[in-house]
Structures are given as C-alpha cells and as structure tokens.
Amino acid sequence: MAYIEHHRQRFALAIILILFLVLGAVYSVVVPIFEKPDELHHYFVIQYLLDNRSLPVQEGSDGTLWAQEASQPPLYYVLAALAASWVDTSDAYELVWLNPQRNMGTPGNPGNKNVTVHTERERWPYRGTTLALHIARWLSLLFGAGTVWGTYLIVRQVLPAHTALALGAAGVNAFIPQFLFISSSASNDSLISFLAALTLLTLVRVINGQMTRDKTSDRSGHLSPDHLSLGFVLGLAALTKLSGLALLGLSGLVLTWIAWQRRSWRYLLTGGLVVGGLTAALAGWWYVRNVWLYGDVTGLNAMLQVVGRRDDFAANASALWGEFAGVRTSFWGLFGWFSLSLPEPVYWVLDGLSVLGGAGLVIRLLRRCTGGERGGQRAALNLGLLLLWTAIVGVLLVRWTSLTLGSQGRLLFPALPAIVSALVIGWSVWLPRRWGGVFSLAVAVGLLGLSAVVPWWIIAPAYARPPLLAPDALPDDLPPLEVTFGQFIRLHGCQVDRPRLLPGETLAVTCYWQALKPLAKDYYIYHHLLGRGEEPVGKEHGYPGSGSFPTSLWPVGQVVAATEWVRVGEEIAAPVLGRLAVGVYDPDTDKHLVPADPQGQPLGLIFAGQVKIAAPEAQVVEVPNPVRYTVGDTVALIGYTVEPEATTPGGTLRVTLYWEAMTTPPEDYTVFVHLLDESGTLRGQGDGPPMLGDYPTSLWEPGEVIVDEHRVTIYTDAPPRRYRLAVGLYRLADGVRQPVRDSDGVSQPDGRVILPPEVWVRGE
C-alpha cells in the first residue's frame, strides 16, 4: 500500500507540474514580448552577452536598454544567453518600438497598456530576437517548475505524515496567477525563487538531521552532504540576485543554532568554512568586480543611479500603507507593467485566505511549542525557519522601497515557498486532519481556474489591435462625419460608449479611420472632451488604438475601428454638455493636419460626438426670489435674480434664471429674456441657449435645478423709464414659444413670464 500511495503522490505532483508548464507556456505566448515588468531591460543584458561575449557595465543613467539590470548578478543572463546562442538576434534593436504614452503602474487607466508597439514580426513561427526572448521565458518556466517541486518537498520535510498538504502547497504555489506570469518572463526572478526553495529545503533537512541526533553523540564538527549542497546552492543564489546574499545570512543563523545545540563551535567553524568557501568560490569574483568597477561590493549604488533614489520615505512613512496595497495586488496578480489588475473581489477572497492561513499558523505554532512532543518541536523549528525567511525578505522589500520607488509583489517570490507552505499548514488547523489537504487542493484548483482564464479574459484583450473593417461595413448607427485630415486620413465618424457619465469616470470613444495612401509617418490622434466655455475637461492623445496601432502600420483602404479612453477630471463644473473634439497632428512638429469636408473645403475644430457630464451628486441650490411657472409641461421657472436694478441705454443686465426640470424636455429650447416697456415694445434682449449652450435642455434630468445666466443688452434708443422683463422658452427652428402657466394653472399670454421687478433705465 505504501508503494501504491507513493506512486499516487508522484503522479499527482507530475500532473501539477505539467499543468504549470502548460499554463506557463500559454502566458508566454499570450503576453507580447517586453510586456512584463523590466523584461525589456533583462533581455538586453542577455542581448549584450550575445553580441559582446562579455558582461555590460553599469554607467549611470546612460539610456541603455538594459537600464539598471547591468549591475544585477549574471547567472540567469549567462544561462539564457547560452540557451539562445544559436539564434540570429541581429534584429533586436529594431523590435524596440516604445509607446510614447505607455501606461505603467496605473491599472485604473484603461488605455495604452502596451509599453511597446508590436508588429507581425512577433508572430508564430518565432524567429530572431522574438525566438531568443521566448527561449529565455521557457528557461524561466523550468526554474518556476523547480520552485513548485521544492515547495512540495519542503512541506514533506516539515510534516512528513501530511502528503496531501504537500500536494496542496505545490498546487497553490504553481497556480498563483502572478507566479505564472513572472515565471514565464525573461527575468532572474524565477531562478532566485528556485534557488531559495532549494536553500530552504536543505536547511530544513539540516535542522531535522540535528533534531534526530542522539544527544549523547560526540560534539565533533561532522558535516553531512547537505552542507556541501548548501554551499553550492548559496553560491548560485549569490550569482543570481542580491537577495541571494540574504540566504547566506539565514544559513549562517541555522548553522550557529546547530553549533549551540551541539555545544560545538568546531561545527560552526567547519560548516562556515565549507558553506562559505563554496559560496565565495562560485560567486566571490562577481562582488570583487563590483568593488573594482563601482567601489561598492553589491553594485547597488550604481543601480540606484539609474532607477533614482527616493528622499521622501522617512518623511512620508504613512504612504507605506498605500505601497503595501500595491504589493498585495502585485503578489497575487497584476499584469503587464503593473497596468492590468484582477477584479477587486478576487483580491478580497485571497486576502481572506491569507488571514485564515496566518491565524491558523499562529495557533499551530503555539500548540507545537507547548505540546512537549519532539516531533512537534521539530515542526515548530521548521516553521520558524520559514517564517524567519519570510520576515527577512519582507524587511529587504521595505529597505528597497525606502531607497527607490520599487514596491512589487514579485520581490517577495524568493520567500514564496515559505509563504505558501505556511499558509497551507495554517489552513489545516481549522479542519479535521483528512480535510486539511483537501481544502488546500481545493484552493489550488480555484487558483488554477483563475489562472487559466486570466490570459484570455484580462491580458489578451489589453494588447489586441483595433479591428479592421471594409469601408462598406461601418456600423449602421454611426453618425456620419466624413472628414479628411491632410488629404490622406479620413474620419468616417465616432461613437461613444454611453450618453452620460460623472466627473472622474472614463469615456470610451471609437472612431473609424481610413488611410487613403501609405503613411510613412506616425501621427498622433487627439480626443479632447470640452466642457463649459469649451475648456478641456478630459484629454487623450497618442498612437491610435490606445497606443497599439500607429498610422504607419495602417493598411491602405481598410477602416481602423480605434477605441480610446478619455478620463473626465474630478474637479470640473458639472452638469455640462461634453463635446468631443477630434484631430490629427505630427508629434515631431506639433503641426495639426487641416481637416476638410468631402468637397475639400477647410474646416475648423471637428466635433465628433457629445455626452452629458452629470453632477457627481444631487446639488442643493438656494433659490432666490421664489416663483413657480410651468413652461411647456417639462420645466418650471422657480427663481431669478436681476443685477443691477438700474442701468443706462446700451448697458447690460445680468439675469440669472433658476429652472427645475420636471421631466426631460424632448428637444433643445432657446431661452428668451426681453426688456419690455408698458406697450410691450422690445427695448432690450438676451436670447440664447441655457448656460450659453453648455447644457442644452434635452440633457436636463427630472429634479435638476439649473442655474442659467443671461446678459440682456439695453437698446441705445431706449427712453429713460421703468421696464419689465419677460422670460420664456422657444424652439429655434420655427420660433414657437412653449406655453406658460402660473402656480394656479392659469395660462400666461404670449408664452412668457413677466418677472416682478421693474428695471430702471436712466437717461445718459
């Protein structure tokens, strides 16, 4: 039975590893090249090795494509360069086409997710640099599988009798979406995670070996083969990433503890010489090189010259909580260059699982430490080791965050085997023994399902190019525009995704563009949403298709249905009619292409759509001089002010009308404000749309109070006397006024309201 059970475990672990590799391959294929954090820079260290057969030197902020990564330890880059050495990568620099408006670190912004522009040269079958980068990704994926395997073995060592927990831990580790995303990236993160897992596994074995020693045994410096393995792995880790040096410190603490347990400082000396000697033999040359080149053993100062130092951490320590929120999301799943997030409820569920596991782990540790069982003490020591390593990595992250803006969940991945092992063991506390492993496997299956849909649900749509249409396949409901810019780019029309939005929200605008001839230049398209007084309340500009489809790639004759997202500012005057202005310009010269109608006649500013920008909340308006006149059964005049009360011929009155919408008017009406003498003769007027056209009546919503100011110009021949003001609404097309009734329902003559105050026009 034991033999059968052993093979079942191996089979289950193999299934987990195969699923991990398959899903990782999917992430590798779906995510375009250079669209993972710092992958562009990591790859160009590899490219430098391929081109020069030597390592790059960090030379400050010199604008090189490898940026800060030149001062990273070189093991991963050397391995990747060896794996891709047979590929012709002479096209490497040609593939780097940066999106000038790239969205990095702002997942709330739906546009410009692509850091680089992607072309047909990246498609299958892979060739050139695209192939070399995918080889580096596949190499990373193998290291990621090694981390999953290491997590399984760690839990088997910590709790030998709980094989289901070990499988659950392997599954949870394997199917965390961010781990899959990073493990299929060309970067050194997956290698350091793998080496950290091997280090932790070796240290757990060393601790367990000490706990099973007979207390009466000699106090010699006898070492096991694990010490040789430990030195070898630590040397590789120190050659992979600076966090590998922290593993050396962790190992020193474990060896010191064992020496204290044995009362044998000879053990510490011997172990230190073996482990430290192997580490130095493998990695020492790199740190000597750092001193030689940068005067700094770690090379960290050279790296910080590129990424930039922060000087506000101590003064703004309260901001650490906000950065922690970013670490939380980017630990579980934050894709692209931190621009594609999971739905917030997913993070809530994962937060709940984290709290459940952490609380359970505390309970388990207390039980183990106070239970008096030898096996329990050993498990507690092992768990303590895992927690200590997690704490060390956390401190390193805080330290890095204090030096530069770099809080990322993937920086916790060297501790991922420890974190996952601790969580799985913590979950098991809340359930009967046989169900602990089942629960952890259920969580793994849930993560598997989440990770399986992320590439198609979140990632692929973000990088998809706009669809291409035939000119006769435009949407039937597209408002026709037919404007030509510069005689070679035609705009057929635009659509907005909604008729109404609030300040702070984002409007999706889809415009249908057509190249009339091959375009050698990459023009910018701008979309400006204009509010009151035609002041911009939202702007978006850059390559079409939200950065994904520059004009030089447009096929002649086909229509590009390019969607852009325009965010409305938080602090704007609302409600207001938002008018969408669209245009094309050359980013190098800032020269705008002249729009023209189908007959070739030049046009001015092109308005391609409109939307209502509503007030963010119901506004309480204090209405002066209350009255109640119903106008056309849809609106009511409920108040007014007139300033000044006296003026001269040719002067101006400022009349503010307070309207209340009872229902939404069926069309746009014009307001008239007339100055009348006793005979009804017109002596001044101030007709115009409400709010100078910034908020037409067809946008008014029931219950809204609209404050509408008009300027009434007094005719120069108006005799000095007292006058009355008449107010109402009419249809501009035919001049027909809307009927007016007072508060008692009595119809008012001539469809007008006579305001109570008299206006005195003095002689000059």
- Stretch 335-361: mean pLDDT: 93
| pLDDT at site 217 | 47
What does the mean pLDDT of the chain come to? 90
569, HSE (Cβ side, Cα atoms, 13 Å):
15
696 pLDDT more than 90? yes
Min mean pLDDT across 292-306, 331-345, 677-691, 734-748 is at 292-306
Environment class of residue 657 by beta-carbon count within 10 Å: exposed (0-12), middle (13-18) or buried (19+)?
Answer: buried
Domains in the chain: boundaries: 2-459, 468-613, 629-761
327 pLDDT more than 90? no
| pLDDT at site 666 | 92
| pLDDT at site 753 | 95
568 pLDDT more than 60? yes
Report the alpha-carbon distance of residue 190 to residue 176 in Å, rounded: 13
376 pLDDT more than 70? no
The H-or-E segment that residue 676 falls in is strand 670-676
- Stretch 138-142: mean pLDDT: 97
- Stretch 559-588: mean pLDDT: 94
630 pLDDT more than 50? yes
| pLDDT at site 292 | 93
Report the alpha-carbon distance of residue 12 to residue 386 in Å, rounded: 24
Closest listed residue to residue 675, CA positions, set 644, 709, 714? 714
Closest listed residue to residue 93, CA positions, set 163, 40, 156, 23? 40
136 pLDDT more than 90? yes
What is the share, in percent, of the chain residues with pLDDT greater than 70? 94
Name the more confident of 226 and 192.
192
Cis bond before residue 32 (omega within 30° of 0)? no
Alpha helix positions (H), 212-313: 225-238, 243-262, 265-294, 300-307
- Stretch 94-108: mean pLDDT: 90
In eight-state DSSP terms, residue 3 is: H
**One fold for both 468-613 and 629-761?**
yes
CATH architecture of 629-761: Sandwich (2.60)
Name the more confident of 404 and 219.
404
| pLDDT at site 158 | 87
531 pLDDT more than 60? yes
Cβ atoms within 10 A of the Cβ of 484, count? Answer: 19
What is the share, in percent, of the chain residues with pLDDT greater than 90? 70
Report the alpha-carbon distance of residue 219 to residue 538 in Å, rounded: 75
Between the CA atoms of 96, 97, 98 and 102, what dihedral angle is there, to the nearest 10 degrees? -120
Min mean pLDDT across 18-32, 322-336, 438-452 is at 322-336
- Stretch 351-378: mean pLDDT: 75
pLDDT confidence band for 617 (50 / 70 / 90): confident
Residues 176, 181, 187, 191: is their CA dihedral positive or negative? Answer: positive
Closest listed residue to residue 714, CA positions, set 703, 723, 704, 727? 723
355, HSE (Cβ side, Cα atoms, 13 Å):
6
518 pLDDT more than 70? yes
- Stretch 553-575: mean pLDDT: 93
> How many whole angstroms from its chain centre is CA 136?
25
Paired tokens of 583: 């245009």
Contact of 401 with 412, CB cutoff 8 Å? no
pLDDT confidence band for 317 (50 / 70 / 90): low
- Stretch 485-489: mean pLDDT: 92
pLDDT confidence band for 4 (50 / 70 / 90): low
Strand partners, 39: none
Residues 316, 320, 321, 322: is their CA dihedral positive or negative? Answer: positive
407 pLDDT more than 80? no
320 pLDDT more than 70? no
Contact of 150 with 143, CB cutoff 8 Å? no
Fold of 468-613: Immunoglobulin-like (2.60.40)
- What are the Cα distances from residue 678, in Å, to 343, 637, 712, 722? 67, 23, 18, 9
Contact of 686 with 712, CB cutoff 8 Å? yes
Cβ atoms within 10 A of the Cβ of 110, count? Answer: 18
- What are the Cα distances from residue 426, in Å, to 157, 162, 402? 16, 13, 31
Report the alpha-carbon distance of residue 353 to residue 679 in Å, rounded: 81
Report the alpha-carbon distance of residue 279 to residue 251 in Å, rounded: 11
